[in-house]
A and B are shown apart, each in its own frame.
Chain A
Amino acid sequence: MALAADGLQVAPTRVERIPAAYWVVGALLLIMPLLANDFVLFQVFGWTFIMGLIALSLMFLAGYGGMVSLIQMTVAGVAGYMTAILGSSGVEQISLGLPWYVYIPAAIAIATLFGTLVGALAVRTEGIYTIMITLAIGSAFYYFAKQNYGIFNGYTGFNLVVPPDLFGVDWRQPIAFYYLTLGCAVLGYLAVLYVARAPFGLALQGVRDNPRRMAALGFNVTAHRILAYSLASVLAAVGGILLVWQNAQISPGTVGIPVVIDVLVIAVVGGLRHPIGPFIGALIYVLLRTFTPDVLAAFGQSGERYKLLIGLGFLLVVFFSPDGVLGLWERWRARRRRDPLKGAAQ
């Protein structure tokens, strides 16, 4: 303190300002392949990062833009389908077999275009109507994919959709896939954090808080909302490509209404106020889906009941903490920081 008073204290560098929790979580995630088995790496963490990315795109729209969109899973699905159609799959009469450096950017671009168009329709609506219109387009896409055999191969969809053998690595090996999905999730997370403080991100939060004032400051509110859909679509598209690689297949069920709702549940349960929320939500979701069927079976119950558990969990979180698990955590920390004698925050 004396040093600080003398003005000698060195300002913390950018690296020093990163909270300790980040270092711990970061290190744990990096050495996870030493701690966890293949199933946990591929199925639990891989799936968590993928669903987290897709839910992150909803968090970006809802948390920063105030727009609750149910189209994000469908955008991911469009990217997944494009990966199968433009790249290679077991359905050789449809898949074009283009090289990875064509089909990956093309899949992201097409999904982003799709998400932007939906956004352009949806931003003219508010609240419940945004939910309705995006849900309507999402279910229309589901039925279209299911009935269209020329492009989407109908009910069966595409199998044997695997990542390219880049750098001689089989990216579907658990460890490689773990790092691939971890890398994409971290990039998406950091990108959202970064953009939130860039002019566009600030303006988006302004549009969320007060669209009328934003217009009176010279901002084109509609254009900002549409661009938010475009950026969110990129996140969802990356998630969609990883998802089709993880399952090695895509079919209409991948973009069915239950999954669309799951993405909303993940984002809300995790918390919409910070980009870490969707990943927390995704981890809870994946753990429940992966392990509760076994636990239920051990108690002689039907494994399908896990859906009931997820639903109950959703109800509890929405009831007790409308800002998700993240909100619970923040309130708990605030309570701990409070001085037990004086009662005030330190």
Chain B
Amino acid sequence: MRRADAIADRLGAVGSGNALELRGITKMFGALAAISDVTLTVRPGERRAVLGSNGAGKTTLFNCVTGDFLPTSGTIRLFGEDVTNFPAHERIRRGLRRTYQISLLFGGLSVRDNVYLACRGVSRGRFSLIRPRRGEALMARAEELIEAVHLGDVRDSLVASLSYGQQRQLEIALALAGAPRLILFDEPAAGLSPTERADLVAILTGLPAHIGFIIIEHDMDVALRVAQTVTMMHNGRIFKEGSPEEIENDPEVQELYLGDGSHAHG
């Protein structure tokens, strides 16, 4: 019966429309509320920027969505399905992806192995004891991803030996593996050179329309160019939501965030 219920739940969810629905998400670290009562809806294919000063709770929000942390309270629905108590890997297998603000890679493995692992993680045969053959579809897919982020020249290098910018590129490649439906990018442009930034914007704007993403980005130039909607966070709460123009011209936002001059904007 429980299994039938679960299937019914998933079938019902197909039509319900939203990629992500957060209701009243709160995450406490001891007495500190890193995020409080966040309610947020993201449509399939929607591209949203999350802005907010350091410590606003943006990364914590991502961690709750992916299951890196369990929220203290609130519910998370992913493509209509309640995943609040799902482990991270179950959410990923449903089409969620993420990158990390501080690169979280496999330093002891080559670039190719890193990307191959990402492709393997969202397909069958994760436990396979048979070595992949050269022509294997998943290998070919990994090679494509490596080319897409311009890491072809270092595909056989150990990841620990890559430059900072290359590691950031690899972060992106890992998040594009398989068939993503919603990707969470945590400050992907931080520390990149202007050329690398342009590459990043090209990758983001070039994603197929059915792939939605949420991007945390301090660089307003990048954020406003790739996003259709903007969410401002402040002290763990959602402070404003709207189109990029609305947010840019909002006097309260300007005072709080843009006006202090500590952030680049275009």
Contact = CB atoms under 8 A, between A and B. Distances in A.
A213 B127 contact: no
Contacts of B107: 209
Contacts of A217: 89, 92, 117-118, 121-122, 174, 177
Interface of B: 66-68, 87-89, 92-93, 97-98, 100, 104-109, 113, 116-118, 120-122, 125-132, 174, 177-178
A205 interface: yes
A224 B177 contact: no
B167 to A, nearest CB: 12
Given A215-B87, A216-B98, A218-B121, A200 B127 contact: yes
B67 A198 contact: no
B87 A198 contact: no
Interface residues of A, number: 26
Contact of B104 (A205, A212, A219, A224): A212
A216 B92 contact: yes
Contact of B109 (A209, A215, A219, A220): A209
Contacts of B66: 216
Nearest to B118: A217
Contacts of A221: 89
A220 B93 CA distance: 10
Contacts of B97: 216
Nearest to A204: B127
List 3 tightest A-B contacts by C-beta distance, closest first. Answer: A217-B121, A218-B121, A215-B88
A203 interface: yes
B106 A199 contact: no
18 contacts: A194-B131, A197-B131, A199-B129, A201-B129, A203-B126, A210-B104, A213-B174, A214-B89, A214-B117, A216-B68, A217-B92, A217-B117, A217-B177, A218-B89, A218-B92, A218-B121, A218-B122, A220-B89
Given A197-B131, A198-B130, A217-B117, A210 B105 contact: yes
Interface in A178-212: 194-195, 197-203, 205-206, 209-210, 212
Interface string A214-248: 11111111011001000000000000000000000
B177 A205 contact: no
A107 B97 CA distance: 44
Contacts of B104: 210, 212-213, 216
A189 to B, nearest CB: 16
A213 B100 contact: yes
A198 to B, nearest CB: 5
B131 A209 contact: no
Contacts of A219: 89, 117, 121, 126
A202 B117 contact: yes
Contacts of A195: 129
Contacts of A218: 89, 92-93, 121-122, 126, 178
Nearest to A208: B108
Contact of A206 (B117, B125, B130, B177): B117
Given A199-B126, A205-B109, A216-B68, 5 more contacts: A199-B127, A200-B128, A201-B129, A209-B106, A217-B92
B58 to A, nearest CB: 17
Contact of B127 (A206, A209, A212, A224): A224
A228 to B, nearest CB: 10
A212 B63 CA distance: 11
A202 B138 CA distance: 14
Nearest to B107: A209
B105 A213 contact: yes
Nearest to A201: B129
Contacts of A223: 127
Contact of A198 (B89, B92, B105, B131): B131
A198 B128 CA distance: 7
Contacts of A210: 104-106
Contacts of B127: 199-200, 203, 223-224, 227
A203 B114 CA distance: 10
A1 to B, nearest CB: 22
Interface string A100-132: 000000000000000000000000000000000
